[in-house]
Structure 1
């Protein structure tokens, strides 16, 4: 794998209501993601996780710093970056299949109708929705809508897929099923993924690495934890891996006990700060 996404000195600040001071959400964010890597980021609300994702998507601008994808600076939205939000974002007047076709046509306008349709159906099949091609979003459950959203994002084959708590609104059982669908489709596509989650177990199941953010204001990406559990993974099998509880306990300890003390508001964060790399399999 090669270094694909580079984030250098990223900072996001907002003026206070009186306009006299600046409130810094996060600062000195430096990290990289390799091609084909699945990376999750975890942190308490208000630390700037979604803001970082929106900057990577080109939907927001950083106050300082640089984001490079494949050596080129990200300056705005692009079809090379796909986003999956928590609220599905489907077109309510279009069928399941037409929602995918709409995105695929935008991505490859030169493709003929039959190629677009075959490509779209293939990705719906990967998320188990071949039986629901003609249904509209209102006729689908929340879990099915999110499967359509996932299929649409993967079908456009973006170089970078950004996911903002895509399963946060789903019940635990549905979330588990869709996590397995996501693993299956990611293992086939090997696309690069950056995902926000609040679920420690979800992060361990899905990711190659987990970035831990300290509390805001002046949050920082404090640690990069390697998930040393072989793939393929399932929810029932990973709990038996010798590294599972080492990783889980480390993540919970960070979130409960250490994230506040590492905040830039209470400690001196250097501009060239690099997150601590943690490989618990080696400990």
Structure 2
């Protein structure tokens, strides 16, 4: 498994101010992801989470540095990267099958219609929508629409799946069900995923690692948290794990206190290129505390 399947290398993003000068959202940002890894990013609004996601999906470009996927620098949108937004963003005149098949046909232009349909149906079935494939978006609930978006993203079998708070507009029960589906599918397919969330419990349940960003402007990666829970975690058992409250309290403490104060009291030895890696544990910070990211 490559440690640098996805690599953010020294990126910066700046915007001009109305009265002159520039606002630096972030600069000299470094981190990498392994193939098949699920990474969540947590930070307050304005720290640049969505800007990083847009750089990864090719809709924005960094002012400095580069974003690299599987050894190639990102230079624009690509079907190698799929995005699931907060809204479902479905084509209203197309059916469930039509929406998913549209993406499949765009990726595989040489495939016959029957093969496109069969491939699309396989992913519609994966998200539990078999039997609803001929319905239009107007006939679907919010959760079903988001399932279509997930099926569409997965159907092109991207090198990276990018998610911008995809469950935030859903009710708690639907949100939990879709989190279960996404986690199951990512584990089964080895899908690499990068997700923005404000929900600490969502990050703990879904992520292998959690990137903590300080408040913006001039945001930084304070640290990278390795999830101590087992990869095959079960939702109903997560809060019983001995390390659950250690990681939850660590994340809450960051959001409430350290996200604001970190930049004014940078720890000795902090290196932007190798943010510290921590692994919260019921026994304390653990042997990985302070280890620097590769």
TM-score interval, normalised by the smaller of the two chains? over 0.9
Q: Which secondary structure does the structure 2 equivalent of 1:115 belong to? A: helix
Shift of 1:188: 1.6
2:87 is matched with 87
> Does the 8 Å CA contact 2:31/2:273 hold for their aligned counterparts?
no
Give the secondary-structure state (helix, strand or coil) at the position aligned to 1:255.
Answer: helix
Report the Cα distance in structure 1 between the residues aligned to 2:185 and 2:273, rounded to whole angstroms.
35
In structure 2, the residue matched to 1:14 is: 15
C-alpha displacement of 1:173: 1.1
- In the other structure, the counterpart of 2:237 is 237
User: What is the correspondence of 1:1-283 to structure 2 with a 5 Å cutoff?
Assistant: 1-2=1-2, 3-19=4-20, 21-263=21-263, 266=264, 272-281=272-281, 283=286
Q: Over residues 28-52 of structure 1, what are the superposed CA-to-partner deviations in whole Å (9 max), with x where a residue is unaligned?
A: 2100001110000000001000000
Deviations 1:32-78 (A, max 9, x none): 00111000000000100000000010000111111111111111111
**Do 1:183 and 1:206's aligned partners in 2 also have CA atoms closer than 8 Å?**
yes
Task: Note if contact 1:48-1:216 (Cα within 8 Å) is conserved in structure 2.
Answer: yes
RMSD over aligned Cα atoms: 1.5
In structure 2, what is the Cα distance between the partners aligned to 1:271 and 1:11? 16
Which ranges in structure 2 are unaligned for 5 or more consecutive residues? 287-294
Q: Distance in 1 between matches of 2:132 and 2:209?
A: 34
SS at 2:201 equivalent? helix
State the distance in 2 between where 1:257 and 1:41 align. Answer: 17
Equivalents in 2 of 1:96, 1:129: separation in Å? 9
Q: Is 1:28–1:271's contact at 8 Å kept on the other side of the alignment?
A: no
> 2:90, 2:149 within 8 Å by CA — same for their partners in 1?
yes
TM-score (ref. length: structure 2)? 0.92
Aligned length: 280
Question: CA–CA distance in 1 between the matches of 2:265 and 2:77?
Answer: 34
Provide Cα deviations, 1:155-195, integer angstroms capped at 9, x if missing partner. Answer: 10010111000001111111001111111211121111000
Q: Deviations over 1:207-248 (max 9, x none)?
A: 100000000010011110001111222221111111111100
Q: Provide TM-score, normalisation by structure 1.
A: 0.95
Q: Matched residues in 2 for 1:63 and 1:274: separation?
A: 20
